[in-house]
Structure 1
Amino acid sequence: MNKKINISKHLNTLTNNYLGISKIFIFIMFSLLIVFIFPKTSKFKYEYQKSKPWAYEDLIAPFDFAILKTSKEIELEKFDIIKKNKPYFVEDIKTKDIVKQNFLKDLNSSALMKDSQHKKETIEEVNKIIDSIYSKGIIQLPKNFSEKSLNEVYLVNNNIAHTKLIHDFLSIANAKSFIDNLKFKNIKNASYVKKLIIQNLIQNIVLDSIATKNGFNSLMNNISITKGMIQNGERIISKGELITNDKYIMLESLKTSFEKQIGETNFNFYAIFFGQLILVFTTMLMFSLFLYFYQKSIFYDNKKIVFILLIIYLMILITNTVIKYNIDYMYIIPVLFVPILIRAFFDSQIALIVHVVMLTIIGLLVPNSFQFVFLQLVSGVIVIISLLDFKHRARFFITVILIYITYCTIYLGLSLINEGSIMNIELSNFLLLAVSASLLLFSQPLIFISEKIFGFVTDLSLIELTDTNNKLLREFASKAPGSFQHSIQVADLAEEAIYHIGGNGLLIRAGALYHDIGKMFMPLYFVENKVMGINPHEELSSIESAKLIISHVTKGIEIAKKNNIPDIVIDFIRTHHGNSVTRFFYAQHVEQYQDISIDEEQEFRYNGPSPFSKETAVLMIVDSLEAATRSLKNPDSVAIDKMVDDIIDKQIEDNQFDNADITLKEINIVKKIIKKKLISIYHLRVEYPH
């Protein structure tokens, strides 16, 4: 016996050590993964905002650095280049000869000029006109240029670009007008000749698209991102001085130069890495302690911890990627995915703390983190409050609208404080916030995917499980109608009881509907399914009967797993009898054999475990009471009251609720509610005359 106890102790010690080591490993692994994606540049030690006074001592430039242009200034320069960009053209010297040849060909095919001498004179006259037109040149501008906005072009000759006024050339329209206004002295059929000239006109000043593109790119690439220098030792800003737009640009330029220089040495790289590691480890330690003291069910479940840390990591990774790509897109990051996903599977408390932990780490990444973190923190609280109930899918759409309104309100307030004027607010950020809010609509499919991968259950899944028209419950109703009706009654009573002591009503309803599905196996051996006058237990010993009754738990677990019922619902099947004794058959056996051993007593006990949550504890109470009430011969209020007290007291004596987070006060509340409901259901009715 002592050997068995020692082996059991060793096994428990090994199990506890394994669980402890695995948790440490999980937290360290995710902390390292987060630190590895952090940029290894030191953060500027000063926090500042535009239109606010400088809160530190006088700031002196520690080295020479360039003053950076703002993104607006660079964009204006780009726009100016686009506006003033000159296209490159080349002259096609063959065009003039082609036009002359085409004119001659058309003239020869005409029957109007039979006089050869006149024809010769006409050709000579026309060639002079063509020479005159093409000496000036015919140009046709590309669609993205217009004569109104373009005054000059480049004409390339021998690889040298010469600036030419656009009016130095003729357009096709101008050339046609010029020909129409000509007055021929010695040419007959002048209008016909003019027509032939006009229809053969083509441009000889042709766009060089490659040179134009290269010229444009060269101008764009040559835009300077700086606009001046600050010398080492020069005063940048004094203590208490207001941070104007110019001072703000200087501070931002110093910050950029500082972070670039600090990250260039290996010594600084390792120092920064170690500093980031300390901060992330500290945050993770605080989070793990919170879970240990306030969310033990999550702390002791590695799958839940991995899920939470994984989505935190993925959101930090997305944030870092967006900031690296373009910091201006910072507000498009859908940070609120995290509290929505956490709230879908856990309670509001854990959703809030996870949101705070994630924002604490993201605050180390984003520039001027206060504005971003404050915006996301307030919006996250709104999300958690608005999604207290996941039963209705339409609530997601309402929540998205509410989030966008919150985003806009908070961003407007912060911008007015920072900019000092509504005219200086970046309106494009409102569009980015709208995109960010809209992306949250994809949280529904993400919740579904997370359910399937991690085996979690949401309220929407529980609603589907409680549909009595689903295949498994219909089979249950068909094979064991009495047990099915008992389960429905238990579901109603349990949901009412849990509502008053604070718990998941949908979860306990689902658990109640499935807790007895094992009775589909040999249903006639259970009293509620018995056919009148037939008792199959008469042919069995009390031990055999007890084993058969106990087997409905293991059979129920098998059926539930086969039908992909979630573990959280299967827990109700496992625990609804705890490790209690099948009292009727146990009493029968004692009456028959008087003294029985401890090993014999175990034959009459359920395998357990006993309830380990408020919901499973309430289901055990309600299941026992509802079944016992049916057996009362005179179910008046006194009998029901005594029966409820006796059964619950016996369960407490039997230590069935020791592992459940339910208090005696809550058990007493459940007692009162169940008594009231049972009396209203099973009270003796007045017999009416026929």
Structure 2
Amino acid sequence: MNVFLNKWYKNHALVYKVLLFLLTTLFIVYLFPKTGKFRYSFEKSKPWQSENLYAPFNFAIKKSQKEIDSEKVEIRNQSPVYFELSEGIGDEVLINYSEIFNQVFTDSTPYNIEKPALYKKGKLLVIDLYKTGILDLDYNYDDDRSVILATSNKVEKELEYGRLHELSELRQLVENNLNTGLSADVKNKMVSIFFDVIKPNISLNKSLSKQALEEALSRISLTRGHIEKEQLIISKGQVVEEDQYVILSSLKSEYESQVWNSTNYNWVLLAYTLLVALALLMLLLFLRKYRFEVFLNNTKVTFIFFNVALMILLTTLVINYNSQYIYVVPLCILPLVLKAFFDARLGLFAHVLTVLLLGFIVPNSYEYMFLQIIAGMVTILTVSELYKRANLFISVGQITIIYIIAYFAFFVIHEGQLTGIKLETFGLFILCGLATLFVQPLIYIYEKIFGLVSDVSLLELSDTNTKLLKELSNKAPGTFHHSLNVANLAEAAANEIGANAMLIRVGALYHDIGKMNNPTYFTENQSTGINPHDELSNKESAKIIIDHVIKGIEIAKKHNLPDRVIDFIRSHHGTSMVYYFYMKEKAENEDVDINDFTYPGPKPFSKETAILMMCDSVEAASKSLKEPTSTKINDFVENIINKQMENKQFLNANITFKEIQSIKKVLKHKLANIYHLRIEYPE
């Protein structure tokens, strides 16, 4: 058990990477559409570029969406409408009619017409109205629309909607029926009686009507005809006309649905998994070979895999919603983010792999991959100094222009003309460019979540008006001035060998913040001529000097400085000795523990931290130069840096001897300028 735990502890970083690799692979495969890929590409009115195509199996020819929509409209216009017929209302209306009629007409011979005859005429009209029925509302159906009347006893009869009576027609019906020899007063009274007694007995049954419509729509056939196996579909070079296009689209749909059946689902799934795993493995191998410091950091590896998976997730969601909006996804955010935190080469490599993975699921995959890879290259080549807002806007504008130019070229190649070009697609590219601007707040979010540092944060930290640097300048002005000088030297050296100048400048500004606790114990802050070390033992003095590294780390963490900056505080003295107090103690006592006078380390482990150690030592020691000359400065720089090399302080840093020689040259030149050395002309 202990052996297993020891192995787990030693290899836990590698185990984590394997788990991350597997989970990312499975997640991406899960996002992929659960259909196969039709091996041929085709376009309407374009020649068929592949070999003669024969039907691989029997399949039905599917109707186009336009045909199906047209059939649906026709069915909606012809589907019968169900109405509820209430029984007994006609008899009730006749009784009410008789009562009200006798109340209104009391004379036996009113207005030159006999009362029984007038009554009978009205009664016949009531009976006629309720033979078909009276609607409760005007439903505005066509007169020839089929209507089915259903009673509570489920007795149904079918007739045309135009035969039903609407309440809005009641006055006209009464007047037309009673217009023979009646005075206007009699007509008005009869109309008034009818409005009082007539009640609608027909109402729309929405549930039955909807059910009937749905049943009719469900019977729509989605196919028209079929193709037999081995039947020739299209010949090589033949233009894809409307009929061939429909057949090819049907074959593509049928083929993709058949690929992922229960028989070979697992095999297709395995194939996708292998391809995705291969792409992600290439990314891991790239990190291991060319970005080993990133590969060793599990947080950074997780960050890279997370961004790749995020871009695939966003693209998949857009495709599932509407593939026409695929170019709205700001895929160029990926190389922008990776370049901001790492470098351009890693950003481009991850971007290309992501685009290759998306080629499995996007329509017109070649066109999409070409556009996105070119856009990624433009992003890498044009974006520099991302912390400058103008640079980002200029780069986004260039990316958008590249999208538009490439799409325009593809359209002309496909169509052979400009007519029919979709201006909406250009609008999508502009939206994509605007969405790319979200990279600035996204970088800030990533910094907080993953603890990474970008040039934007470094620029903020390099401001000498920050709270911590102001505190340093107030408590330890000499140290602050020393830090500024070291920052200038280190930045120049970094630019000379291609290191991260912004990072090293920030590291130099903060590397000695631990001296704020006891500023007077450091010579650069001793303005009164009194040295407090005179009252301490050599061991105590060495401890105070060494502790400024530990105190600096504590202060940095308290003020939430990034780990990359804290690395400079931790390693700027490496495992060197406090040589002055060590030699004093050795002169007094031969039995000296060298560990009491040695910094805890670690040694510098990058070009930037190695440069800071050189510049810090040279700048601090240069204060002791008396009557400096070019020769003295040359020997001075050589001695300090050569001694650090002899003590193997740069053993863990990926810095070459040639780069160290270049740094020496820069330091000599800078110190000569600081001390205003001039060429000595002969007298």
Q: Please indicate the TM-score interval, normalised by the length of the shorter structure.
A: 0.7 to 0.9
Structure 1 position 609 matched with structure 2 position 602: yes
Cα shift at 1:518: 0.9
Structure 1 position 230 matched with structure 2 position 227: yes
- The answer to whether the 8 Å contact 2:52/2:236 transfers is yes
Q: Which of 20, 24, 34 is the equivalent residue of 1:30?
A: 24
Q: How many residues align?
A: 662
- The answer to whether the 8 Å contact 2:81/2:148 transfers is no
Matched with 2:541 is: 545
Matched with 2:37 is: 43
Matches within 5 A, 1:484-495: 484-495=480-491
Superposed CA offset, 1:249-274 (max 9, x none): 333322332333333244x2333233
- The answer to whether the 8 Å contact 1:91/1:155 transfers is no
Matches within 5 A, 1:364-513: 364-392=360-388, 403-419=399-415, 439-440=435-436, 442-513=438-509
Between stretches 290-299 and 176-185, larger displacement belongs to 176-185
One-letter identity of the residue aligned with 2:644? Q
Matched with 1:214 is: 211
Structure 1 position 656 matched with structure 2 position 649: yes
Q: Secondary structure at the match of 2:145?
A: strand
Measured in 1, the distance between the counterparts of 2:362 and 2:481 equals 58
Measured in 2, the distance between the counterparts of 1:555 and 1:521 equals 8
Matched with 2:681 is: none
Measured in 1, the distance between the counterparts of 2:311 and 2:322 equals 16
Between stretches 584-593 and 520-529, larger displacement belongs to 584-593
Matched with 1:156 is: 148
Q: Secondary structure at the match of 1:532?
A: coil
Between stretches 152-161 and 475-484, larger displacement belongs to 152-161
Measured in 2, the distance between the counterparts of 1:319 and 1:481 equals 54
- The answer to whether the 8 Å contact 2:287/2:294 transfers is yes
Measured in 2, the distance between the counterparts of 1:123 and 1:469 equals 105
Superposed CA offset, 1:278-334 (max 9, x none): 323332332222222222221222221122123323443454555556656655555
Cα shift at 1:552: 0.9
Measured in 2, the distance between the counterparts of 1:245 and 1:16 equals 65
642 and 87 in structure 1: CA distance in 2 versus 1, 3 angstrom threshold: farther
After superposition, the CA RMSD in angstroms is: 4.4
Q: Secondary structure at the match of 1:188?
A: helix
Matched with 1:7 is: none
- The answer to whether the 8 Å contact 2:145/2:160 transfers is yes
Measured in 1, the distance between the counterparts of 2:327 and 2:71 equals 25
Measured in 2, the distance between the counterparts of 1:441 and 1:643 equals 49
- The answer to whether the 8 Å contact 2:80/2:148 transfers is no
Matches within 5 A, 1:260-659: 260-266=257-263, 268-320=264-316, 323=319, 330-331=326-327, 333-392=329-388, 403-419=399-415, 439-440=435-436, 442-592=438-588, 600-634=593-627, 639-659=632-652
- The answer to whether the 8 Å contact 1:89/1:154 transfers is no
Between stretches 78-87 and 292-301, larger displacement belongs to 78-87
Measured in 2, the distance between the counterparts of 1:342 and 1:101 equals 89
Question: TM-score scaled to structure 1, two decimals?
Answer: 0.80
Matches within 5 A, 1:21-170: 21-35=15-29, 37-38=31-32, 42-48=36-42, 53-75=47-69, 77-78=71-72, 89-90=83-84, 137=134, 140=137, 152-158=144-150, 160=156, 162=158, 164=160
Measured in 1, the distance between the counterparts of 2:77 and 2:66 equals 16
Measured in 1, the distance between the counterparts of 2:99 and 2:86 equals 21
- The answer to whether the 8 Å contact 2:175/2:187 transfers is no
Q: Secondary structure at the match of 1:227?
A: strand
One-letter identity of the residue aligned with 2:509? L
Superposed CA offset, 1:548-593 (max 9, x none): 2111111111221222211111111112122223233334345555
Matches within 5 A, 1:233-272: 233-266=230-263, 268-272=264-268
Measured in 2, the distance between the counterparts of 1:164 and 1:53 equals 52
One-letter identity of the residue aligned with 1:543? K
Measured in 1, the distance between the counterparts of 2:87 and 2:256 equals 58
Measured in 2, the distance between the counterparts of 1:99 and 1:669 equals 112
572 and 82 in structure 1: CA distance in 2 versus 1, 3 angstrom threshold: farther
Q: Secondary structure at the match of 1:457?
A: coil
- The answer to whether the 8 Å contact 2:487/2:504 transfers is yes
Question: TM-score scaled to structure 2, two decimals?
Answer: 0.81
Cα shift at 1:539: 1.8
Cα shift at 1:350: 0.9
Measured in 2, the distance between the counterparts of 1:634 and 1:97 equals 130
- The answer to whether the 8 Å contact 1:88/1:153 transfers is no
Measured in 1, the distance between the counterparts of 2:209 and 2:391 equals 55
Matched with 1:5 is: none
Measured in 2, the distance between the counterparts of 1:552 and 1:417 equals 68
Q: Secondary structure at the match of 1:603?
A: helix
One-letter identity of the residue aligned with 1:479? K
Where in structure 1 are there 5+ consecutive unaligned residues?
1-10, 686-690
Cα shift at 1:165: 5.6
- The answer to whether the 8 Å contact 2:60/2:223 transfers is yes
Matches within 5 A, 1:189-204: none
Measured in 2, the distance between the counterparts of 1:558 and 1:341 equals 30
14 and 137 in structure 1: CA distance in 2 versus 1, 3 angstrom threshold: closer
Measured in 2, the distance between the counterparts of 1:203 and 1:459 equals 79
Cα shift at 1:77: 4.8
506 and 131 in structure 1: CA distance in 2 versus 1, 3 angstrom threshold: farther
Between stretches 125-134 and 209-218, larger displacement belongs to 125-134
Cα shift at 1:648: 3.1
Where in structure 2 are there 5+ consecutive unaligned residues?
679-683
Cα shift at 1:641: 4.8
Measured in 1, the distance between the counterparts of 2:536 and 2:646 equals 30
Q: Secondary structure at the match of 1:474?
A: helix
Cα shift at 1:370: 1.8
Superposed CA offset, 1:343-365 (max 9, x none): 33221211111111122222233
Q: Secondary structure at the match of 2:597?
A: coil
- The answer to whether the 8 Å contact 1:553/1:574 transfers is yes
Cα shift at 1:526: 1.0
- The answer to whether the 8 Å contact 2:82/2:149 transfers is no
Cα shift at 1:235: 1.0
Measured in 2, the distance between the counterparts of 1:47 and 1:537 equals 83
